[in-house]
Amino acid sequence: MDGYPQKLALTWGMWRVNVGGGDHDGGMTTAPDDLLETLTRLDQQLSDAVHDTLDDDRVRALGDDELLALTRVVESLGRRIDALRIAAAGQVDNRSRSELGEDRLCARNGCINAVDLLCRVTGVSAVTARARARYARATGGRATLTGQSLPAPFPAVAAALTSGVIGVDSIAAIISVLGPITDRCHPAQLAAAETELVAAATGTGPDGAPPCTADDTRLQAKVWELILDPDGTLPKDQHAARNRGLHFGHENGGLVPVNGNILTEVYEQFRLLYDAHTNPRVQDRTRGEAVAFRENVDSADAGEDVPPDPRTRAQKMHDVFATILHVAARSTETPTIGGAPPAVIVTINADDLNRDNGVAFLNGTNCTVPAFVARHTACNAGTQHMIVADNGRIIQLGTPNRTFTTQQRRAIIARDGECAIPGCHMPATWCEIHHVTPHAKGGPTHTDNGVPLCWWHHRTIDTSGWEIRIINGIPEIRAPRNLDPTRTWHPTTGSLHRAQNRLRQRLAKQREPATPRTG
């Protein structure tokens, strides 16, 4: 056990001499043809080391000092791997730039853009792929349209990344704060800020302070931002407009977190609407469909028909917001989506509809709601229900028309959820409906012959190598040979309720008793 972190460090150091050239002046000494072989060998060595470490539970047995030493070595490994990840992502991004047209690397591999290709090759999320490409653009050299080479926008960050002394979190902290203000700062001042921040993040400053954490680095970057680009640089209204926005998080426990900043005039409009809905004394009695909430009032004044409202102010604000959305969805002035009014689609299996423990699904988010919510929303004009068979097939929908009707479009959206191409998460509500068997070849305009495709995949479906078919009402797809050499057909995976049905069926088969053998 003794010296195990040092063994890992030695393995990495030997590799740096062979490939990275980090300890000498020769740069990368391994020929490009040998780089992949060298990296593959290192991957196997690290795989063996990690397997031995975790399989024998060696980390648990380390002493405190060795545990911290191991943590430092592993983080050092990660920083150098991240440098290679960023370099590779940068090249994929560069070879997929729009001016290359059909010769783009992404297009030649049946992908929309560099992020799409990176996601498919690496399996990372779009957020991670996009971040790597962004870091590469900030730390890599650039070329003008005339071919002239330009230095990296953040050369000090680039040098620290290459040396393996700065991680992606600190890189993000620096470039995300300084990047937006580069055009408004003197280059010398910006370079000074970058140098100081890199020195703080790596612990190489003249004061001898230890390396800052990424959070501390971001805080220092914010201070530099205030110095280089004080609030007075931009008029207040322009600053507010630049920073407006709403952000919705991921559903958790039936709730979606919301945060952001809205302009003062937008808040004032909402405040007035809130007051109009909650004012206990002024009620609009002229419109029977109006919804109004009252604050808690004394029962003697309220009368028996107005019970006390137990909701908090925050809950009432939520409900007023929901009411505003329902009214907007019913309005004839509201823009349509692909010709269809913006209706919430609730999908539920026929067997679940009347079950107390039944589950329904909200299209677009794949969030689940109890069956009683589905029954309740049947009264909402902005909601459409879709009842499906056990295998997910849409029941009793079809039309011989050339163009998919609004009802068919909604049904296909509910069934498939997003673009049919795996890995493309464009919501089906933003997609075009594609005839799997072309209408010109006798393909019917029916839900059993339509799938959602985003604009790009619809445009390139005949040339990208992706193939689609529908079996028993369920779309299946197979990838181009360069992405899947087996050319295996798979059900599309954008719908959570169909995935649930497949899992139920698989579990049911596993529970079936084995047929006894006779004879």
* Three-state SS annotation for 55-71: HCCHHHHCCHHHHHHHH
Q: Read off φ and ψ for residue 170, nearest 5 degrees.
A: -70, -35
pLDDT at 310: 61
CB 380 within 8 A of CB 323: no
| 142 and 42 part of one domain | yes
Report yes or no: 157 and 171 within 8 Å, Cβ to Cβ. yes
Q: Give yes or no for a contact between 194 and 165, defined as CB atoms under 8 angstroms apart.
A: no
For residues 218 and 293, membership in a common domain is answered with no
User: What is the residue whose two structure tokens read 């709601």?
Assistant: 369
Q: How confident is the model at residue 177 (pLDDT cuts 50, 70, 90)?
A: very high
Shared domain check, 217 and 77: yes
For 327-368, write each residue's pLDDT tens digit: 676 566 666 655 665 566 777 777 776 676 777 776 666 677
Does residue 299 carry a pLDDT above 50? no
As a whole number of angstroms, the distance between CA 436 and CA 31 comes to 48
Dihedral sign from CA coordinates of 250, 256, 260, 262 = positive
pLDDT digits (tens, 9 = 90+) for 495-515: 666 666 766 777 777 777 666
What per-residue confidence (pLDDT) applies to 461? Answer: 85
Q: With a cut of 60, say whether residue 232 has pLDDT above it.
A: no
pTM tops 0.75:
no
Question: Per DSSP, what are the bridge partners of residue 370?
Answer: 359
Q: Are residues 8 and 90 in the same domain?
A: yes
pLDDT given at position 278:
64
In a domain, 244, yes or no: no
214 and 144 assigned to the same domain: yes
Domain end, chosen from 279, 303, 330, is at 330
Provide the domain limits for residue 40.
4-233
Q: Tell me, what's the pLDDT at 388? A: 66
**472: phi > 0 → left, psi -120 to 50 → alpha, else beta; which?**
left
Residues 53 and 198 in one domain: yes
Of 216, 233, 250, the residue that ends a domain is: 233
Domain's final residue, options 305, 330, 355: 330
252-289 burial string, b = 16+ CB within 10 Å, else e? eeeeeeeeeeeeeeeeeeeeeebeebbeeeeeeeeeee
393 belongs to a structural domain: yes
Q: What is the four-CA torsion angle of 402, 405, 410, 413, rounded to 10 degrees?
A: 10
pLDDT tens sequence across 430-456:
777 888 987 657 788 899 999 998 777
Indicate the residue type of 178: L
Q: Is residue 24 part of a domain?
A: yes
Q: Are residues 423 and 467 in the same domain?
A: yes
* Same-domain status, 438 and 303: no
Tell me the CA distances in angstroms from 217 to 67, 155, 166, one per residue in order: 25, 17, 11
Tell me if 44 is assigned to some domain. Answer: yes
Q: Let me know whether 348 and 325 are in one domain.
A: no
Mean pLDDT score of the chain, rounded to an integer?
A: 77
Q: What is the DSSP string of 23-50?
A: TSTT---S-HHHHHHHHHHHHHHHHHHH
**265 and 375: one domain?**
no
Is the pLDDT confidence value at 109 over 90? yes
